[in-house]
Structure 1
């Protein structure tokens, strides 16, 4: 999750850091755990940092 906070990598590129092999599976897993898709999570973090 910290990659979504700090990195300029795409969500697809971040997928492989924690060991996921499929971006779609990562998105489903993230949404299930956080109740928000990774891309939307990243946008909300950027907005709250302002």
Structure 2
């Protein structure tokens, strides 16, 4: 399966919140993987 790059910029406060979420996972996630997981969780709630 292919993938498509989606570039996105985060303001400093949102990036800090993302980094905090990553730290809370207790897993060494990259920022892109963290965003993919958050999006997958949000979509699953639709």
The TM-score by the shorter chain falls in which range?
0.3 to 0.5
Larger radius of gyration: 2
Q: Higher helix share goes to which structure?
A: 1
Q: Normalising to structure 2: TM-score of the pair?
A: 0.40
Q: Normalising to structure 1: TM-score of the pair?
A: 0.38
